[in-house]
Amino acid sequence: MSLSSLSCLGGGSKIVYRHRESPPLDVQMRGEHVVEATSGRVSGRPPQRDELWSQRYEELMVIVRTRLEQEIVRFGGDYAQVFSESADSKREAVIGQA
């Protein structure tokens, strides 16, 4: 998962604002960054794959939240605003995993 145009901002209690959510007006944007996170692999037959993907997606969202918090601290900010995001799947046909 790649979160494009992550903007680290300054001061408050909620720390991650997504898409059209606005952080407090008194903060100053410090820059734009990309954050990437990877979930575990999914294996199984097509009927199971949807359920497994849902589980991995939830896992991925926890990982993304952690990565965002780490980047906020690393850049000395207090907030992150996510402007865009994408989730890409990779498939390894030889071992039957995505």
CB atoms within 10 A of CB 77: 22
The pTM for the full model equals 0.66
Pick the closest to residue 23 from 73, 78, 62 (CA basis): 78
Tell me the mean pLDDT in the region 60-71. 88
| CA distances for 4 relative to 13, 18, 26, 34, 37, angstroms | 23, 12, 23, 5, 12
Please write the tens of the pLDDT for every residue from 2-45: 444 455 554 446 788 887 888 778 888 778 888 888 877 766 66
Confidence of residue 46 (pLDDT cuts 50, 70, 90): low
Beta bridge partners of 83: none
